[in-house]
Structure 1
Amino acid sequence: MTYATRLAAVRDSMNQQGLDAFIVPHDDEHLGEYIPPHAERLDWISGFNGSAGAAVVLADRAAIFVDGRYTVQVRHQCDPALFEFRHLVNEPFLDWIAVELQAGSRVGFDPRLHSQSWHRAAVARLAAKNISLVPLAQNLIDLHWHDRPAPEHRPALLLSQEYSGQHSEAKRHRIAETLAAAGVDAQLLTQAEPINWLLNIRGRDIPCLPAVLSFALLHRDGAVQLFADPAKFEDLDLAAHCGKNVSLAPMDGLEQALLALGKQGARVQLDPATANAWSALVLEQAGAELVFADDPCMLPKACKNPVEVHGSRAAHLRDAVAVCRFLAWLDRRLAEPNPEREDEGTLADKLEAFRTEQPEFVEPSFGTISALGPNAAMCHYRHSNGTPRRLGQDAIYLVDSGGQYLDGTTDITRTVAVGEPDAEIAKLFTLVLRGHIDLACARFPAGTGGLQLDALARLPLWQQGYNFDHGTGHGVGHFLSVHEGPQRISPKGSMVPLTTGMIVSNEPGYYREDAFGIRCENLEVVQPADTDGDIPVFEFENLTWVPFDRRLIDTAWFEPKHVQWLNDYHARVWEQVSPRLAGDDLAWLEQATRPL
């Protein structure tokens, strides 16, 4: 089916059900950022396969909404004759619907794919225009997606306390105590990552996200009802691993469990930002009393314990070996005959091969962004979407990649010279790196949120009239999602205080459409700072140990403190990584870490 045919089929179903619009978000029932192939409904209807966005289908028009990371990509992937392109943040799709539809219109949506908070706000927003929001029993895309992939059925993994640092029973009782104190009978958990963290389990249900897709109910006595595919736990002793009072039932058993809580008149807590609207509607209609609060697993999951921090350091050091070996190989390959035989795909494969050789490596932490020249202007570019670009045409190459290791999750971006960068590229690279350094050096009082630190990474660019349209830093999990909350560093970011054990990325960039892209990314862990003052202060401890490309630096755009930071950083890279390299790779590292 062509995309035009797919739109026509969905519109036919809309007409049969008396709908004037249908909303297609990039989400599954768990509302996590990463979704399995069988949930890629937005891709099916539009061709857009980024990690965030939504489409709205009207009777005679359609629009797709994406944020700043995907404004270039969406125009490459979607047919402008079928979809209008809109900015997800600057023009929310509910506002667009309210303008485009007449009073009395009916908007269809799948309540399993939208959060409870979105549903509550959407009902009010559209009601103001006398537009009805209609929950659908069956998703309209599912009616026509005849070659839809089957869900994965890979076995689960029981994560040893050697890696997790804390037994599930201790985690469960710590959080259950807060529920009991608040008079809550049960907590509904809907996202895979907090459930996997709580029970010290992992899985392979989604590429690059080592989690078992599941739902769970955590009761005030610490008992957990886990709803997941039981076949994934065959030959595994879940009860022995998790401790007392953990039961397992199929995913479709959740509805009956929610109905049972409703009949008891239980007080059930859920996070309105992460629990889907369907679960809240089932509970309400069954008679439960809903309590809205943040998912109580999110903050303790984000604050890594000492074992998790130690594991993350070790994982990043092994990852640095893989990335350094790749960059050394790339430089050698550029000096050999016919480097143009390499393209973005073969480069990504080579990097993954080096990671695969590292102990404890499981899989990439996301699809490698391997981007030459103009492709790097798309922040979340995928070389697999078309014909990968070849070496030999461009001045710089951006590679954003990471690994899932049993003891940690990595994420690193390096922009390197593969041709003859001009003075403007060197200036912009240096400004980006300067912002990275300024943020890395930050010290901040307890209670500081990422929103307050974001400008540090942007100021060097701002002062010269440049900016970038994505967040500066996201939280990173521990052998879990490479993107996690509640912490992040962004101009519209979180005011959740950055505190001990939180891991965040530091990744300012600059992107020029149809020309090039630049990004410099390390991961940092928040630690208490040693000061003489009278207030608690935090700082960032670097986790990533890979050189920045000295060939792209114009020191005229640095202050002496930036030169000193970079020289100190490169000295640490040499100290940490050189004992693990040999031969040509070691010689490359010696050159790459020489002082400016």
Structure 2
Amino acid sequence: MTFTEKLQALRQLMLVQNVDAYIITAADPHISEYLPAHYKAIPFACGFTGSAGTLVITQDFAGLWTDSRYFTQAETQLNGSGYELVKLKVPHTPEYINWLLEILPKGAKVGFNYELITVALALEMQDSLAQREIGITDVDFINTIWLDRVGLPQGNAFLIDEEAAGFAISAKINQVRAALKISKADYHLISSLDDMAWQFNLRGNDVDYNPVTLSFALISPEEVKLFIDQQKLSQVDINTLTEQGVTLHPYGEVANALQNLPKAPRVFIDPKRTCFRLFKCLPVDSKIISGINPSTHLKGLKNNTEIKHIRKAMLHDGIALTRFFKWMEDHLGKEKITEWSAAEKLATFRAEQASFVGLSFNTIAGYNANGALPHYSVTAESDQEILGDGLFLVDSGGQYLYGTTDITRLMPIGNCSSTQADDYTLVLKGLIEGSKLIFPEGTKGYQIDSICRKPLWEHAINFGHGTGHGIGFFLNVHEGPQNISPANVDIAFKPGMVTSIEPGIYRPTQHGVRIENLVLCIPHGSSEFGDFLTFETLTLCFIDTAIINKTLLAPDQIKWLNQYNQQVFHQLQPHLSTEEAAWLKVKCRPI
């Protein structure tokens, strides 16, 4: 079926079941950012492959609501699909709710799959639409027309030991139980896969790039139930879980377990990371306690063991990146190198490192205009040869048994324009200002965000994505609870949080600039004004100085850059060949 034929089939099902608007979300029952193939309904329906978007279909209109990261990509991928791009004014907001209120008549019905929408969003939609007596209903039209839909993933899962994780499973359960006691909850439902991974020292390969496995958990003061396909686990791991006080149950039995909770249970859920269908399974007399999963807060604070391992991952990642950029410089102009082949070559250098598991996300390798797409994904059609003059942007990361990496670097190719040099330098200024920041305890990400953007704002330049996100320990490349963005997220930075800093400048059809490091929040010291924090940069890869406009940098920024590049050289040099070390020494020369 073509996309237009699929749209026609969906509209026919809507007519049959009296559904006036049908919503398709980018989600799975665990409200994951990255989805198993079974749940990639939006690419199936319209061809759009971005990680954030919502389809809304009526008999007269079909649209994709997405944010500025994907405007150009969406316009290309939606061409001829029957869907139109609707540009979100504010990222991650359900602006289509107001649109539905405007165009639907009183008494209309809006359908969506309750399994693929958060409790928070479903309740917001239900309450908002009720203003015009518009109802909601649980329907899954996609499954009806997706005749060759793949099944749920069946990859193996495994436990990482206490030596790697820093804490035993039972210790983590006790930490969560302590939080539940404070909130006076009888039960805690965990749906989010990265929280499941942290809670049970559990890893898997059910989702590309994210070492997680499909599972749920129900924790009470008396017992811990883990809902998972036991065939994914070895007998040794099953025995370990049992010894740690965990009972195993089939993956599909979580709904039944919720329906059979005792009378009037007090249940703690994260309404932004729990699906509406499971919420509807809870007894009607349940007392719902809403909040961020306790494990999310605990997971975000890396323990000393995790930090030690993360440093090791950064070292190995830096070795791979050094070899890659040297290879690029040595071979450009001598053989054909494209965005695709460069990304593949980088993956081979990472694969040579000890304990490498896989990539942490699909490598963004964009030359010139393609680099202006923040979430560019090279295809056979878009693959561009890296030749001539310009900027080659590489945003990439690796999953290691001892950590997760995420880094962006720019490689100048040939002769670069003054505009490219200025953009590069301004983005670097933003990175440096965030990296060397000293700030009081209680500082939130939106406050740090403005400091990173200030060098760009001074030139009337801005960018449409957040400045930074939390990152997992051999886990998801994006994790909370903290971030650095304009959004008013009420989470203060604390020692142990690992976060990216990645400002950017994007000039459509010309070039894109982004430079990204990972930083660890650490104590800085105390004074009569309170306790202060700062960042330690963890990423180990040189920042190219070839096209820097030095006149745009302040002396303290130049000092930071020189010290950082020298640190990179001194830490990587012992692990490189003589030739590689000599090359890196030149790249790290002070300016």
CA distance in structure 2 between the aligned counterparts of 1:554 and 1:372, rounded to whole angstroms: 21
Whether 1:19 and 2:22 are equivalent positions in the alignment is no
Query: What residue is the counterpart of 1:349 in the other structure?
Result: 344
CA distance in structure 1 between the aligned counterparts of 2:434 and 2:287, rounded to whole angstroms: 44
Query: What residue is the counterpart of 2:220 in the other structure?
Result: 219
TM-score normalized with structure 1 length: 0.96
Paired AA for residue 29 in structure 2: E
Query: What residue is the counterpart of 2:467 in the other structure?
Result: 472
Contact 1:317–1:576, Cα closer than 8 Å, also in 2: yes
CA distance in structure 1 between the aligned counterparts of 2:126 and 2:182, rounded to whole angstroms: 32
Q: Which runs of 4+ in 1 moved over 6 A?
A: none
Contact 1:184–1:220, Cα closer than 8 Å, also in 2: no
Residue 68 of structure 1 and its aligned partner are, at CA, apart by 2.0
Whether 1:104 and 2:107 are equivalent positions in the alignment is yes
Residue 179 of structure 1 aligns to a residue whose secondary structure is helix
Change (3 A) 1:492 1:181: closer
Contact 1:53–1:88, Cα closer than 8 Å, also in 2: no
Contact 1:199–1:242, Cα closer than 8 Å, also in 2: no
Contact 2:20–2:110, Cα closer than 8 Å, also in 1: yes
Residue 385 of structure 1 and its aligned partner are, at CA, apart by 6.5
Whether 1:388 and 2:361 are equivalent positions in the alignment is no
Whether 1:85 and 2:85 are equivalent positions in the alignment is yes
Contact 2:410–2:514, Cα closer than 8 Å, also in 1: yes
Deviates most, 550-559 or 388-397: 388-397
Contact 1:200–1:242, Cα closer than 8 Å, also in 2: no
Contact 2:226–2:247, Cα closer than 8 Å, also in 1: yes
Query: What residue is the counterpart of 1:315 in the other structure?
Result: 313
Q: Once the two structures are superposed, what CA deviation does each residue of 1:279-315 show, in whole Å capped at 9, x if it has no partner?
A: 1111044x43322222111100000000011111111
Q: Once the two structures are superposed, what CA deviation does each residue of 1:382-423 show, in whole Å capped at 9, x if it has no partner?
A: 113734111115511000000111111100000111232101
CA distance in structure 2 between the aligned counterparts of 1:225 and 1:401, rounded to whole angstroms: 36
Matches for 1:410-489 after TM superposition, within 5 Å: 410-489=405-484
Residue 86 of structure 1 aligns to a residue whose secondary structure is strand
Query: What residue is the counterpart of 1:38 in the other structure?
Result: 38
Contact 2:426–2:455, Cα closer than 8 Å, also in 1: yes
CA distance in structure 2 between the aligned counterparts of 1:549 and 1:181, rounded to whole angstroms: 50
Deviates most, 244-253 or 313-322: 244-253
Query: What residue is the counterpart of 1:582 in the other structure?
Result: 577
Matches for 1:119-198 after TM superposition, within 5 Å: 119-136=122-139, 139-198=140-199
Residue 524 of structure 1 and its aligned partner are, at CA, apart by 0.3
Residue 514 of structure 1 aligns to a residue whose secondary structure is coil
CA RMSD of superposed structures (Å): 1.5
Equivalenced residue count is 588
Change (3 A) 1:126 1:218: same
Contact 2:266–2:289, Cα closer than 8 Å, also in 1: yes
Residue 247 of structure 2 aligns to a residue whose secondary structure is strand
Residue 522 of structure 2 aligns to a residue whose secondary structure is strand
CA distance in structure 1 between the aligned counterparts of 2:57 and 2:247, rounded to whole angstroms: 41
In structure 1, which of residues 344, 361, 365 is the aligned counterpart of residue 360 of structure 2? Answer: 365
Query: What residue is the counterpart of 1:275 in the other structure?
Result: 274
CA distance in structure 1 between the aligned counterparts of 2:547 and 2:77, rounded to whole angstroms: 31
Query: What residue is the counterpart of 2:508 in the other structure?
Result: 513
In structure 2, which of residues 486, 494, 502 is the aligned counterpart of residue 499 of structure 1? Answer: 494
Paired AA for residue 296 in structure 2: M
TM-score normalized with structure 2 length: 0.97
Residue 112 of structure 1 aligns to a residue whose secondary structure is helix
Query: What residue is the counterpart of 1:325 in the other structure?
Result: 323
CA distance in structure 1 between the aligned counterparts of 2:200 and 2:378, rounded to whole angstroms: 36
Residue 463 of structure 1 and its aligned partner are, at CA, apart by 0.7
Residue 416 of structure 2 aligns to a residue whose secondary structure is coil
CA distance in structure 2 between the aligned counterparts of 1:456 and 1:577, rounded to whole angstroms: 30
Residue 383 of structure 1 aligns to a residue whose secondary structure is coil
Deviates most, 431-440 or 531-540: 531-540
Contact 1:284–1:290, Cα closer than 8 Å, also in 2: no
CA distance in structure 2 between the aligned counterparts of 1:34 and 1:512, rounded to whole angstroms: 27
Residue 362 of structure 1 and its aligned partner are, at CA, apart by 0.5
Whether 1:117 and 2:120 are equivalent positions in the alignment is yes
Residue 493 of structure 1 and its aligned partner are, at CA, apart by 4.7
Residue 103 of structure 1 and its aligned partner are, at CA, apart by 2.0
Residue 534 of structure 1 and its aligned partner are, at CA, apart by 4.3
Q: Once the two structures are superposed, what CA deviation does each residue of 1:139-176 show, in whole Å capped at 9, x if it has no partner?
A: 11111111212222111111011110000101101211
Residue 193 of structure 1 aligns to a residue whose secondary structure is helix
CA distance in structure 1 between the aligned counterparts of 2:121 and 2:411, rounded to whole angstroms: 41
CA distance in structure 1 between the aligned counterparts of 2:170 and 2:41, rounded to whole angstroms: 37
CA distance in structure 1 between the aligned counterparts of 2:445 and 2:247, rounded to whole angstroms: 38
CA distance in structure 1 between the aligned counterparts of 2:434 and 2:471, rounded to whole angstroms: 17
Q: Once the two structures are superposed, what CA deviation does each residue of 1:14-40 show, in whole Å capped at 9, x if it has no partner?
A: 111101111011111100211111110
Query: What residue is the counterpart of 1:337 in the other structure?
Result: 334
Contact 1:416–1:552, Cα closer than 8 Å, also in 2: no
In structure 1, which of residues 296, 304, 326 is the aligned counterpart of residue 294 of structure 2? Answer: 296
Q: Once the two structures are superposed, what CA deviation does each residue of 1:194-251 show, in whole Å capped at 9, x if it has no partner?
A: 1110111100101110011111101123x32111111101433324256332111121
